[in-house]
């Protein structure tokens, strides 16, 4: 290969001097490539030149950098050297110039990882993860990638898709870290052992760059909640609590922690529509039997004053027969008497406008007063009296930066909100707690 093609400096690329150092090496990759910093810089530099041909339209350089049997895994492009060169030619002929801005570049043996912001012929900024494999001659032999649109706003914790560290440290721990990541992917990301999630983190310290997830393990919990909603939308309403175990990345431990808070009105078991935890189902069934009641009485609300009956029969004796402690028995009895009860119903009622009764009455800019019904990692839900709670996203809670919605409000708070958007078809109401300059009335 000739050296002239690589002599031109790649804009913004710290590796361009390696092109001159290794240009003309037609007898295969130099010995410095494997392993060590010099070899890593060599393959990384060639990758940066490779992706920049999208912007320069340099088909000769593109062909020089590729193995003739180049394998492409992006389904939008054909495989082979000619297919890649054709894509470079196509972009060069487009009326809008393609831009390429590399953020990160790391090498590991025969592989190079890049994070880059592309804008292909004016189609919009996309953040890409590229993985390239090099052959023994130092040519790009294979490519994988994943692209996502560059988000207009940071995630709930203020991070973007591209900010953060760019330098590799602790090189002596490479093998240890590689094994750690492999285990994390298997246990957590692939859902084989989600109960181990907390084992991979130092408390709640975890920086997240996903556009929809907040920092910390709590942010991952919010993602699990999102998976639950997506599962319901795909498979329909849950008909039993135990079905929650089918939700991706929601393992037995998470089920244990959340099951008592979830109500399943359509379940064949009335207990699924109470606050009785599945662990206490045997005790609840035993208590009903001892007090002469059936499960149907729970669903029909025909248990009478079960608490008084328990006291007359002897709370301690019944608890022993049911195999639970006295406090648990009392809680079970109380919950059996009110299936379907939402504990938030006991909160102060919102102060409502008399002219706003349904979603169709809502208009963007309208000022309302409501009661905070739920506080979650990415915002708060507010009851504004239209039979559908509205969401105030964390970015709409205050003009100052908010790390978590609990810094601003709590369940039960009476708050003033303004309507941002209403989607009656999807039954979604977007609200803000930031006072507009000119709020509609």
Q: pLDDT: is 378 or 74 the higher one?
A: 74
pLDDT of residue 195: 67
Give dist(CA 395, CA 432) in Å, integer: 9
pLDDT tens digits along 303-320: 888 888 999 999 999 999
pLDDT tens digits along 68-125: 899 999 887 888 999 999 999 999 999 999 999 999 998 888 899 999 999 999 989 9
Q: What mean pLDDT do residues 357-368 have?
A: 84
Q: What mean pLDDT do residues 319-328 have?
A: 89
Q: Write out the residue limits of the CATH 3.10.450.50 domain(s) in the chain.
A: 4-149
Give dist(CA 416, CA 410) in Å, integer: 14
Partnered with residue 145 across adjacent β-strands are 130
Give dist(CA 414, CA 369) in Å, integer: 7
The verdict on domain 346-432 having CATH code 3.30.70.20 is no
Q: Tell me how far the alpha carbon of residue 287 is from its chain's centroid.
A: 42
The model's pTM:
0.48
pLDDT of residue 337: 85
Give dist(CA 74, CA 76) in Å, integer: 5
Instruction: Tell me: pLDDT of 22 over 80.
Output: no
Q: Write out the residue limits of the CATH 2.40.50.140 domain(s) in the chain.
A: 346-432
Residues 6 or more apart in contact with residue 95 via CB below 8 angstroms: 121, 122
Instruction: Tell me: pLDDT of 330 over 50.
Output: yes
pLDDT tens digits along 148-190: 889 888 877 788 999 988 777 788 888 888 888 888 888 777 7
Cβ of 340: how many Cβ atoms within 10 Å?
Answer: 13
Provide the CATH number for the domain formed by 4-149 in this structure: 3.10.450.50
pLDDT tens digits along 237-263: 888 888 888 887 676 766 776 777 778
Partnered with residue 371 across adjacent β-strands are 383, 414
């Amino acid at each position: 290969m000739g050296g002239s093609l690589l002599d031109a400096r790649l804009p913004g690329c710290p590796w361009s001097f390696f092109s001159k150092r290794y240009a003309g090496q037609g007898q295969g990759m130099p010995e410095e490539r494997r392993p060590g910093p010099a070899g890593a810089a060599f393959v990384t530099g060639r990758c940066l030149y490779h992706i920049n041909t999208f912007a320069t339209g340099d088909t000769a350089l593109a062909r020089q950098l590729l193995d003739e049997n180049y394998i492409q895994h992006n389904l939008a492009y054909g495989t082979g050297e000619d297919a890649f060169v054709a894509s470079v030619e196509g972009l060069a002929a487009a009326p809008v110039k393609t831009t390429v801005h590399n953020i990160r570049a790391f090498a590991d043996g025969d592989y190079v990882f890049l994070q880059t912001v592309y804008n292909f012929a004016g189609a919009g900024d996309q953040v890409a993860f590229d993985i390239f494999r090099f052959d023994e001659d130092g040519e790009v032999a294979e490519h994988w990638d994943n692209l996502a649109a560059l988000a207009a706003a940071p995630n709930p914790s203020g991070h973007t898709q591209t900010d953060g560290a760019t330098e590799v440290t602790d090189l002596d721990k490479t093998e240890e870290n590689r094994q750690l990541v492999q285990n994390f992917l298997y246990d957590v990301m692939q859902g084989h052992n989600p109960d181990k999630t907390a084992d991979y983190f130092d408390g709640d310290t975890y920086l997240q760059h996903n556009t929809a997830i907040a920092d910390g393990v709590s942010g991952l919990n919010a993602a699990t909640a999102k998976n639950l909603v997506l599962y319901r939308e795909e498979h329909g309403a849950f008909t039993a609590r135990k079905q929650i175990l089918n939700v991706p990345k929601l393992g037995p431990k998470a089920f244990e922690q959340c099951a008592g808070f979830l109500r399943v009105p359509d379940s064949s078991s009335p207990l699924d529509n109470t606050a009785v935890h599945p662990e206490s189902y045997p005790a609840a069934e035993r208590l009903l039997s001892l007090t002469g009641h059936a499960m149907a009485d729970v669903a029909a609300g025909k248990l009478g004053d079960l608490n008084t009956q328990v006291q007359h029969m002897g709370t301690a004796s019944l608890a022993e027969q049911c195999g639970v402690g006295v406090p648990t028995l009392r809680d079970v009895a109380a919950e059996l008497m009110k299936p379907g009860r939402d504990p938030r119903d006991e909160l102060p009622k919102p102060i409502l406008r008399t002219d706003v009764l349904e979603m169709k009455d809502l208009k963007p800019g309208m000022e309302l007063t409501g009661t905070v019904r739920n506080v979650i990692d990415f915002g708060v839900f507010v009851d504004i009296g239209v039979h559908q709670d509205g969401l105030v996203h964390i970015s709409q809670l205050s003009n100052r930066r908010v790390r978590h919605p609990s810094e601003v409000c709590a369940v039960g708070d009476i708050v003033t909100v303004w309507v941002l958007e209403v989607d009656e078809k999807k039954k979604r109401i977007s609200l803000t707690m930031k006072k507009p300059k000119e709020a509609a009335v």
